[in-house]
A = this chain, B = another copy of it.
Amino acid sequence: RLDAMADPGAAFVARDATAPPVPPGRLHRRELHVREVVREVAPGVRQRLWTFDGTVPGPVLRGRVGDTFEITLVNDSTLDHGIDFHAGAVAPDEVMRPIDPGQRLTYRFTTTRAGIWMYHCSTMPMLHHIGNGMYGAVIVDPPDLPRVDREFVLVQSELYLGPDGEPGDLAAMQAERPDAVVFNGYPAQYAHRPLPARAGERVRVWLLDAGPNRDSSFHIVGAQFDTVYREGHWENRPTDPGGAQVLSLTPAGGGFVETVFPAAGHYPFVSHAMVDAERGARGLFEVR
């Protein structure tokens, strides 16, 4: 039913994978509106998604260690939803509680640890809420994070289709039968709208495995990772003689890799669990 290779058509606009910069100031205040949207999740396939601010994944937030985030969740949907930010250490009782349609709730946290942290809906069954689109990433820069030439963010997740125009199928999630595995919400979108880079540039890719269920084994064809940062740990630096071909993540894990593309060309990226690459966990860097 879902063809992960199908062309999304000329009008398709891919999710911008560029990592946002760290915004100025130490207090990051914003609203996140929960919205139900009926959207094409693959060529010819529409689903009723539950979203943060209308996009899947939700917006990428970014800050430094020591910054404060003050996020107001506004429930503009017809169901209860809540939010859980892994980026902050807080007692869940108040800030993560589900809120009714029409309600709002302010969630405040100050970051103390670097990494790329998942956020997601906190309403039960979370399997259904994450599986139907309610997840995103907060990047907290390590203090010594070097500048690079380009920086992208990819969030891996799964699609479990419900009837056309309806929410994803909870039974398929429970049976672990994904219809697609995707980066930034849409199968193979960056195969059709490649990510740009230039030869010789240092490129960083932040990766979060939002699951809800599957690992990621992220690989860039033709490239090697001389730098790997996983769950707050530097596993590889350019000065180490070793390199990595995959970044291995379990659900809710994250990190980044860096590479320098050696020459112009087209460099596919995948989750190297090949069944997932075939299901849409693939894209392309177009390097000039």
Write the residues of chain A forming the contact surface with B, with a CB cutoff of 8 angstroms.
65, 84, 86, 89-93, 96, 112-115, 117-118, 122, 125-127, 130-131, 142-144, 173-174, 176, 211-213, 215-217, 219, 221-226, 228-229, 231-236, 240-246, 248-254, 259-268, 272-275, 277-278, 287
Closest to A92 in B: B222
CB within 8 Å for A249 and B252 given contacts A113-B241, A243-B112: no
Would A275 and B173 count as touching, CB distance under 8 A? yes
Q: In the complex, A103 Cα to B125 Cα: how many Å?
A: 48
Min CB–CB distance A2 → chain B (angstroms): 12
Would A251 and B272 count as touching, CB distance under 8 A? yes
Most buried by B among A173, A221, A226, A252: A252
CB within 8 Å for A231 and B228 given contacts A176-B275, A242-B113, A263-B91: yes
Q: In the complex, A130 Cα to B219 Cα: how many Å?
A: 16
Min CB–CB distance A241 → chain B (angstroms): 5
Would B93 and A250 count as touching, CB distance under 8 A? no
Question: Contacting A250 at CB < 8 Å: which of B65, B115, B126, B248?
Answer: B248
Q: In the complex, A131 Cα to B274 Cα: how many Å?
A: 9
Residues of B within 8 A of A221 (CB): 84, 92, 96, 122
Copies in the complex: 3
Would B130 and A274 count as touching, CB distance under 8 A? yes
Min CB–CB distance A67 → chain B (angstroms): 13
Would A228 and B224 count as touching, CB distance under 8 A? no
Would A113 and B224 count as touching, CB distance under 8 A? yes
The 6 closest A-B pairs by CB, nearest first: A232-B242, A113-B243, A91-B265, A252-B272, A217-B250, A212-B274
Would B233 and A127 count as touching, CB distance under 8 A? no
CB within 8 Å for A114 and B262 given contacts A90-B222, A251-B272, A272-B251: no
Q: In the complex, A219 Cα to B120 Cα: how many Å?
A: 13
Would B219 and A252 count as touching, CB distance under 8 A? yes
Would A215 and B264 count as touching, CB distance under 8 A? no
Would B91 and A250 count as touching, CB distance under 8 A? no
Min CB–CB distance A61 → chain B (angstroms): 15
Min CB–CB distance A143 → chain B (angstroms): 5
Would A217 and B253 count as touching, CB distance under 8 A? yes
Residues of B within 8 A of A248 (CB): 231, 248-250, 253
Q: In the complex, A71 Cα to B36 Cα: how many Å?
A: 53
Would B89 and A211 count as touching, CB distance under 8 A? no
Closest to A90 in B: B222
Would B245 and A273 count as touching, CB distance under 8 A? no
Residues of B within 8 A of A127 (CB): 274-275, 277-278
Residues of B within 8 A of A249 (CB): 248
Would B131 and A242 count as touching, CB distance under 8 A? no
